[in-house]
Amino acid sequence: MTTAKQSSDQTVSSQHSPIALDIVGSIGELALNNGPLNLVDKALLRALNAVLAEVEHNANMRCLIVHGGRGRAFCAGSDVREFERIRHDASEQKILYEDMTLRRLARLPIPTIAAIDGAALGGGLELALACDLRVCKKGVVLGLTESRLGGLAGSGSVRLTRLIGPARAKELLFTAETISPELALSLGLVNRVVEEGSALEAARELASTIAARGPLSNRLAKRLVDAAQDAPLDAVLSMSTVSQQQIFESDDLHGGVAAFLQKRAPEFKGR
């Protein structure tokens, strides 16, 4: 259950919730709050899904940052202590719900950024992979390490392959090796590596830039990029034509052009 504090900014959380959502202007910050390792357990998944539903229906939000809060890790993966209890009905108890929640994150209409200031391992990296962009602090470790325990990175295997290609994805999955942010950057797994300061600070700067751009444009761009990975070329190009017409009919485009000609900052409304 969540409670909301109304002000110019908004905080959505409960005292003992494993998820906290802070809304500052048009940018949301979703903090994992599940102990020093931010382990993925049933309570975290339920809270995450509920908060994502609120974000999904917030028409004023333009970007969402997901970060590890006060934890030592961004997220160190699943709480393996749950596994024996769900052995014979894991699909019902964990797998389907977790996949649904990560798909909800991936399908949010707004840009999303994972700010990785601590280890992102196993299910934690799968969570980061469900975001659009990843900003990583130098010195942290990343990896889909499930096979060390005989486990499997399900959705992570798919999303990693789409980012870095099958051969490199297979190597990381088969060996369960952790990699540095610098290697992750060269592979295309992360977008930016922060040498000084925190990944959260860098993600906030990036989110501010994104939020200053046309929100309708960014939502449509995300939809087209995601569709480009799944649908036939002609179908996506048809989507592009419809999206372009939507942009040309929008107040944002014509207000942005007027601001450009008048040499002032645009004020986008998302319509």
Inter-residue contact 28 to 55 (CB < 8 Å): yes
CATH no. for residue 232? 1.10.12
Same domain, 148 and 238: no
* 149 CB neighbour count, 10 Å cutoff: 13
Write the DSSP assignment of 42-111 as a string of letters.
HHHHHHHHHHHHHHHT-TT--EEEEE-TT-SSSB--B-GGGTGGGGGGHIIIIIHHHHHHHHHHHT-SS-
pLDDT tens over the chain, length 271 residues: 233 333 335 554 445 799 999 999 999 999 999 999 999 999 999 999 999 999 999 999 999 999 999 999 999 988 788 878 878 887 887 878 899 999 999 999 999 999 999 999 999 999 999 999 999 999 999 999 999 999 989 899 999 999 999 999 999 999 999 999 999 999 999 999 999 999 999 999 999 999 999 999 999 999 999 999 889 999 999 999 999 899 899 988 888 888 898 999 888 888 8
Distance CA 208, CA 202 (A): 10
182 is catalytic: no
Read off the pLDDT of residues 107-146 as tens digits, 9 standing for 90 and up.
999 999 999 999 999 999 999 999 999 999 999 999 999 9
126 is catalytic: yes
Distance CA 160, CA 165 (A): 7
Distance CA 96, CA 192 (A): 31
Is 271 among the domain residues? no
Is 268 among the domain residues? no
Same domain, 85 and 173: yes
Which helix (H) or strand (E) segment holds residue 263: the answer is none
Tell me which residue range forms the domain holding 188.
3-212
Inter-residue contact 123 to 151 (CB < 8 Å): no
Same domain, 252 and 207: no
Same domain, 190 and 250: no
Dihedral, CA of residue 141, residue 208, residue 188 and residue 184, to nearest 10: -10
Question: How many domains, in total, are found in the chain?
Answer: 2
Q: Is 35 left (phi over 0), alpha (psi -120 to 50) or beta?
A: left
Catalytic pick from 146, 171, 205, 249?
146
Catalytic pick from 126, 177, 195, 201?
126
Inter-residue contact 176 to 144 (CB < 8 Å): yes
Average pLDDT of the chain, as a whole number: 90
Residue 128 is predicted with a pLDDT of 98
Same domain, 124 and 251: no
Length of the chain: 271
CATH no. for residue 76? 3.90.226.10
Residue 134 amino acid letter: R
Same domain, 143 and 176: yes
